[in-house]
């Protein structure tokens, strides 16, 4: 019999089997129970976090014709789905199938009714890889999907999905799975397989998998191949070319005592044996961080990567200042890895830098107190940041007066939502924002979650759920998102009208909404500070709200209803 990979054997067959995505599973199960199934879903998140597995489960569940628990696992639909042969569950991998022709073929078939099940479900993996024309073809179908068709799009890179597609989908973000969830799931599997294990080894595997259940299972596969009867920490270490915790601590101590020559040789040897330098740097950072936590709290329960004994032994040679400096240098280095072709040489430089630091502190220790300039610098930076925040929050106390003293020849700024947002306009939004509004609305914002599955408001709710309010004025809201696609969509005229309606009808906020990305927000705050200093902040921007007849607040709606009734009575009386 050929060997079957663990992740194939243990792919979740029921919702209960999904590891670590409780919130998503619960929401989807509720939607199925209430028969509130959307026509398009977008599952985003890092690789191996269960997007495809949940997509397959959802496809199976909505096609299940059994009674009682869903999926029942017994009806012909469940059986076919479990064997991956259901004719109405169509899986596509855009990474390999990115031609427009394939998508066209699918769309041709979309209009035909399902063959065996209730719905035709199209699962498109890595949807961001579709070519532009394929995207457009898909968009057309998403605009008016036949009642029996459901699309489940999965992607590791939602930024690359067209905003117009995103806005037509119900979105779910799959988070990295917790180390504890992964290791307890590995434990269950090993018990079933009858393989012995030690818990530390499983935690190490979970840690190596970095939040991906599939990766964890394939690491476990490799460890089983190495030793089929038992999973132990040292086996995982040798399969994966990593140092033990004690070896890492020894390395830190050697750096502290500036044994340069020995260290250079060691790094070379590590590279030769295939030790992952990026990972090692990250591990060292975690050890230093936990040692610092221990120095402050002396609580062993707060330690995860090291134990009390490790922390104590490091604190014999490291002061808090040392720990801070080491963390800073290593963090800087790990940033550089992102673009590095050869991380080993960056690591070497970092080690030399740290050796230099160790020498310096040893020298100054003899002369007097250690310099704390770095810390002071840090504190200053923090104060400045807070300052920015405060300035942004507070309404200028007497904007009119200030302007009277030194009037600035500026015009009233107006913004057409069809045009890209102008800097002066945004600056005006910041200038006339009020902290109280923002605080109130941040509370209101939590309500949006409830409308995710709403037929009328679901789309707006999904768009607004993850954005943050930057500033709020009398008749406007400025929000930020880290995702360019979301920002673009919010500012799109047609969508913006819908959002305006949503805010008015659901949150009872009669405000225009504008979005910027985080980068632009930062630049904006900087520019705000500059203009504020020079007293050249713009005048209050003119906000033009959308005109839409259907946009009615609760009161207006009631009034309209009353008028309608009144009209009727008038007519009756008139007869
Ligand atoms: Zn069934």
Give me the CATH number covering residue 216. 1.10.8.60
Q: Are 283 and 248 in contact (CB under 8 A)?
A: yes
Distance from Cα 51 to the centre of ligand 1, integer Å? 21
Task: Give yes or no for residue 31 having a pLDDT over 70.
Answer: yes
Residue 314 lies in a domain: yes
Task: Give yes or no for residue 308 having a pLDDT over 80.
Answer: yes
Distance, in Å, from the CA atom of 138 to the CA atom of 103, rounded to the nearest integer, reads: 7
Distance, in Å, from the CA atom of 234 to the CA atom of 242, rounded to the nearest integer, reads: 9
Residue 373 lies in a domain: no
Distance from Cα 177 to the centre of ligand 1, integer Å? 28
Distance, in Å, from the CA atom of 103 to the CA atom of 110, rounded to the nearest integer, reads: 10
Distance from Cα 53 to the centre of ligand 1, integer Å? 17
Distance from Cα 89 to the centre of ligand 1, integer Å? 14
Question: Domain check: are 106 and 150 in the same one?
Answer: yes
If DSSP states are collapsed to H, E and C, what string results for 117-129?
A: CCCEEEEEECHHH
Distance from Cα 90 to the centre of ligand 1, integer Å? 18
Q: 368 phi and psi, to 5 degrees?
A: 165, -160
Question: Domain check: are 226 and 360 in the same one?
Answer: no
Distance, in Å, from the CA atom of 368 to the CA atom of 417, rounded to the nearest integer, reads: 62
Distance from Cα 76 to the centre of ligand 1, integer Å? 7
Q: For strand 40-44 and strand 149-155, is the pairing parallel, antiparallel, or unpaired?
A: parallel
Distance from Cα 75 to the centre of ligand 1, integer Å? 4
The DSSP element (H or E) to which 82 belongs, if any, is helix 76-82
Distance from Cα 546 to the centre of ligand 1, integer Å? 48
Distance from Cα 117 to the centre of ligand 1, integer Å? 10
Distance from Cα 458 to the centre of ligand 1, integer Å? 28
Question: Given this model, what pLDDT does residue 380 score?
Answer: 36
Residue 361, domain CATH: 1.20.272.10
Q: Three-state DSSP class for 243?
A: coil
Distance from Cα 327 to the centre of ligand 1, integer Å? 54
Question: Domain check: are 406 and 460 in the same one?
Answer: yes
Question: Given this model, what pLDDT does residue 387 score?
Answer: 40
Residue 374 lies in a domain: no
Distance from Cα 62 to the centre of ligand 1, integer Å? 9
Distance from Cα 72 to the centre of ligand 1, integer Å? 4
Question: Domain check: are 162 and 189 in the same one?
Answer: no
Question: Domain check: are 225 and 353 in the same one?
Answer: no
Distance from Cα 60 to the centre of ligand 1, integer Å? 7
Question: Given this model, what pLDDT does residue 436 score?
Answer: 87
Q: For strand 196-197 and strand 170-173, is the pairing parallel, antiparallel, or unpaired?
A: unpaired
Distance, in Å, from the CA atom of 20 to the CA atom of 216, rounded to the nearest integer, reads: 13
Distance of CA 353 to the CA centre of its chain: 34
Q: Please name the residue ranges forming H helices in 75-122.
A: 76-82, 100-110
Q: Which of 39-53, 150-164, 262-276, 538-552 has the lowest mean pLDDT?
A: 538-552
Distance from Cα 125 to the centre of ligand 1, integer Å? 24
If DSSP states are collapsed to H, E and C, what string results for 40-54?
A: EEEEECCCCCCHHHH
Distance from Cα 150 to the centre of ligand 1, integer Å? 18
Residue 388 lies in a domain: no
Question: Domain check: are 134 and 250 in the same one?
Answer: no
Q: Give whole-number Cα distances, 481 to 165, 462, 469, 516, in Å.
A: 17, 13, 9, 7
Distance from Cα 181 to the centre of ligand 1, integer Å? 28
Q: What is the DSSP letter of 542?
A: B
- Give me the residue label for tokens 């029921």: 14
Distance from Cα 176 to the centre of ligand 1, integer Å? 30
Distance from Cα 29 to the centre of ligand 1, integer Å? 14
Task: Quote the number of domains for the chain.
Answer: 4
Domain extent for 528: 399-555
Distance from Cα 33 to the centre of ligand 1, integer Å? 14
Distance from Cα 74 to the centre of ligand 1, integer Å? 5
Question: Given this model, what pLDDT does residue 559 score?
Answer: 66
Question: Given this model, what pLDDT does residue 408 score?
Answer: 42
Distance from Cα 168 to the centre of ligand 1, integer Å? 28
Distance from Cα 350 to the centre of ligand 1, integer Å? 58
Question: Given this model, what pLDDT does residue 416 score?
Answer: 77
The CA-based dihedral angle spanning residues 436, 438, 441, 443, taken in that order and rounded to the nearest 10 degrees: -80
Task: Give yes or no for residue 26 having a pLDDT over 50.
Answer: yes
End of a domain among 367, 389, 421? 367
Residue 562 lies in a domain: no
Distance from Cα 187 to the centre of ligand 1, integer Å? 29
Distance from Cα 531 to the centre of ligand 1, integer Å? 65
Question: Domain check: are 11 and 122 in the same one?
Answer: yes
- End-to-end, the C-alpha distance of the chain in Å comes to 89
Percent of all residues in the chain with a pLDDT value above 70, rounded to a whole number: 84
Task: Give yes or no for residue 216 having a pLDDT over 90.
Answer: yes
Distance from Cα 69 to the centre of ligand 1, integer Å? 8
Question: Domain check: are 253 and 105 in the same one?
Answer: no
10 Å CB burial of residue 377 (0-12, 13-18, 19+) is exposed
Distance from Cα 86 to the centre of ligand 1, integer Å? 12
Question: Domain check: are 16 and 83 in the same one?
Answer: yes
Q: Are 233 and 204 in contact (CB under 8 A)?
A: yes
CA angle 355-359-365, nearest 5°?
140
Question: Domain check: are 201 and 64 in the same one?
Answer: no
Distance from Cα 80 to the centre of ligand 1, integer Å? 9
Question: Given this model, what pLDDT does residue 16 score?
Answer: 92
Distance from Cα 7 to the centre of ligand 1, integer Å? 23
Q: What digits encode the pLDDT tens for the residues 396-430?
A: 444 433 333 333 444 567 777 777 888 889 999 98
Question: Given this model, what pLDDT does residue 53 score?
Answer: 94
Distance, in Å, from the CA atom of 216 to the CA atom of 295, rounded to the nearest integer, reads: 33
Distance from Cα 485 to the centre of ligand 1, integer Å? 38
Question: Domain check: are 166 and 308 in the same one?
Answer: no
Residue 423 lies in a domain: yes
Residue 390 lies in a domain: no
Q: Are 45 and 173 in contact (CB under 8 A)?
A: yes
Distance from Cα 66 to the centre of ligand 1, integer Å? 4
Task: Give yes or no for residue 567 having a pLDDT over 90.
Answer: no
Distance from Cα 24 to the centre of ligand 1, integer Å? 21
Task: Give yes or no for residue 239 having a pLDDT over 90.
Answer: no
Distance, in Å, from the CA atom of 8 to the CA atom of 12, rounded to the nearest integer, reads: 9
End of a domain among 240, 256, 281? 240
DSSP strands (E only) in 400-511: 468-472, 476-481
Task: Give yes or no for residue 178 having a pLDDT over 80.
Answer: yes
Residue 46, domain CATH: 3.40.50.300
Token pair belonging to 298: 């002396």
Question: Domain check: are 168 and 184 in the same one?
Answer: no
Mean pLDDT (the chain) is 82
End of a domain among 154, 173, 192? 173
Distance from Cα 32 to the centre of ligand 1, integer Å? 13
Residue 503 lies in a domain: yes
- 76 vs 529, residue with greater confidence: 76
Q: Please name the residue ranges forming H helices in 212-371.
A: 213-226, 233-240, 245-256, 260-272, 277-297, 308-317, 320-337, 343-367
Q: What is the DSSP letter of 87?
A: T
């Amino acid at each position: 019999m050929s060997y079957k990979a663990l992740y194939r054997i243990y792919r979740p067959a029921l919702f209960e089997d999904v590891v670590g995505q409780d919130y998503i599973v619960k929401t989807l199960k509720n939607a199925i129970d209430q028969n509130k199934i959307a026509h398009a879903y977008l599952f985003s998140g890092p690789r191996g976090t269960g997007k495809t597995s949940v997509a397959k489960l959802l496809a199976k569940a909505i096609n299940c014709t059994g009674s009682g628990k869903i999926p029942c696992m017994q009806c012909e639909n469940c059986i076919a789905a479990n064997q991956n042969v259901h004719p109405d569950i169509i899986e596509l991998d855009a990474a390999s199938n990115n031609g427009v022709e394939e998508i066209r073929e699918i769309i041709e078939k979309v209009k035909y009714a399902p063959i065996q099940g209730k719905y035709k479900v199209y699962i498109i993996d890595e949807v961001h890889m579709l070519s532009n024309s394929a995207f457009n073809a898909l968009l057309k179908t998403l605009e008016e999907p036949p009642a029996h068709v459901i699309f489940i799009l999965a992607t590791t890179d939602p930024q690359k999905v067209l905003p117009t597609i995103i806005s037509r989908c119900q979105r779910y973000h799959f988070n990295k799975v917790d180390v504890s969830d992964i290791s307890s799931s590995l434990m269950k599997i090993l018990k079933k397989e009858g393989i012995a294990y030690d818990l530390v080894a499983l935690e190490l595997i979970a840690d190596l998998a970095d939040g991906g259940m599939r990766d964890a299972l394939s690491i476990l596969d490799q460890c089983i191949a190495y030793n089929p009867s038992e999973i132990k920490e040292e086996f995982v270490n040798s399969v994966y070319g990593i140092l033990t915790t004690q070896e890492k601590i020894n390395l830190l101590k050697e750096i502290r005592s500036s044994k340069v020559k020995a260290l250079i040789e060691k790094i070379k040897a590590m590279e030769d044996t295939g030790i992952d330098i990026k990972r090692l740097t990250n591990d060292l950072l975690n050890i230093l961080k936990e040692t610092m936590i221990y120095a402050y709290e002396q609580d062993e329960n707060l330690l995860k990567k090291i134990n009390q004994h490790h922390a104590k032994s490091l604190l014999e040679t490291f002061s808090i200042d040392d720990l801070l400096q080491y963390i800073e240098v290593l963090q800087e280095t790990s940033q550089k890895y992102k673009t590095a072709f050869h991380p080993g040489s960056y690591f070497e430089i970092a080690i030399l830098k740290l050796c230099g630091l160790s020498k310096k502190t040893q020298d100054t220790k003899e002369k007097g107190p250690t310099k704390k300039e770095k810390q002071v610098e840090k504190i200053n930076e923090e104060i400045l940041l807070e300052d920015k925040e405060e300035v942004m929050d507070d309404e200028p106390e007497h904007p009119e007066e200030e302007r009277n003293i030194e009037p600035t020849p500026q015009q009233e700024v107006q913004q057409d939502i069809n045009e890209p947002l102008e800097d002066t306009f945004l600056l005006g939004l910041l200038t006339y924002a009020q902290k109280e509004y923002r605080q109130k609305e941040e509370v209101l914002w939590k309500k949006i979650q409830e409308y995710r599955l709403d037929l009328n408001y679901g789309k707006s709710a999904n768009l607004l759920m993850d954005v943050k309010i930057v500033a709020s004025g009398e008749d406007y809201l400025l929000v930020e998102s880290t995702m360019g696609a979301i920002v673009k969509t919010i500012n799109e005229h047609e969508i913006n009208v819908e959002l305006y309606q949503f805010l008015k009808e659901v949150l009872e906020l009669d405000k225009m909404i504008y979005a910027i990305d985080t980068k632009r927000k930062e630049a904006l705050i900087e520019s705000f500070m500059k203009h504020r200093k020079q007293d050249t902040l713009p005048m209050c921007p003119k906000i033009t709200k959308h005109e839409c007849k259907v946009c009615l607040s609760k009161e207006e709606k009631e009034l309209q209803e009353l008028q309608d009734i009144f009209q009727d009575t008038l007519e009756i009386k008139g007869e």
